[in-house]
Structure 1
Amino acid sequence: MVLPPDDEPARCSAKGCRADAVWALRWNNPALHTPERRKLWAACEEHRDHLAGFLTARGFLRDVVPLAEAEPDPGPA
């Protein structure tokens, strides 16, 4: 996910959800990404646990932070 401009709200990454996101789920796939790389999914309150569970089951979730504290992914390292 690319963070939107400051004047636009980020939307939840859950399929079909258009709610404003308040959480950033930072993850990486160790088979594809360098250890320091962090991809980002945005989540509303309702979908935070569901999205985190999906990433955790695959061993991808690294941390969850408030969206306001998330930094954009710089891209491949």
Structure 2
Amino acid sequence: MTCSAKGCRASAVWAHLWNNPKLHTTERRKVWLACDEHRESLGDFLSLRGFLRETVPVDEIPDGAG
């Protein structure tokens, strides 16, 4: 799996689980993948918008997220 940051080709080690409450149900989780370098910047982007729900290691992405 590859980091979701634009232009990054590094392997993802983190998964930001998020949802947009205006578009998604409360339990819905979308996933942005992040390498160590982009974990903070991608998480900050989602947090500023109130979308970030949790960050987990890639191997702990819940079934049904995506």
TM-score range, shorter chain: over 0.9
Kept after mapping to 1: 8 A contact 2:16/2:54 = yes
TM-score by length of 2: 0.94
Closer/same/farther in 2, CA of residues 31 and 24 from structure 1, 3 Å limit:
same
- Which structure's CA Rg is the greater one? 1
CA-atom RMSD in angstroms: 1.3
Residue number among 43, 48, 60 corresponding to 1:52 in the alignment: 43
Matching of residue 22 in structure 1 with residue 48 in structure 2: no
In structure 2, runs of 5+ residues without a counterpart are none
In structure 1, runs of 5+ residues without a counterpart are 1-9
How many residue pairs align between the two structures? 66
Superposed structure 1 runs of 4+ greater than 3 Å apart: 72-75
Give the secondary structure class of the aligned counterpart of 2:44: helix
Cα separation, 2, equivalents of 1:25 and 1:73: 14
Give the secondary structure class of the aligned counterpart of 2:36: coil
Cα separation, 1, equivalents of 2:60 and 2:53: 15
TM-score by length of 1: 0.81
Deviation at 1:27, TM superposition (A): 0.1
> Percent identity at matched positions?
62
Tell me what 1:69 maps to. 60
Give the secondary structure class of the aligned counterpart of 2:11: coil
Cα separation, 2, equivalents of 1:46 and 1:73: 26
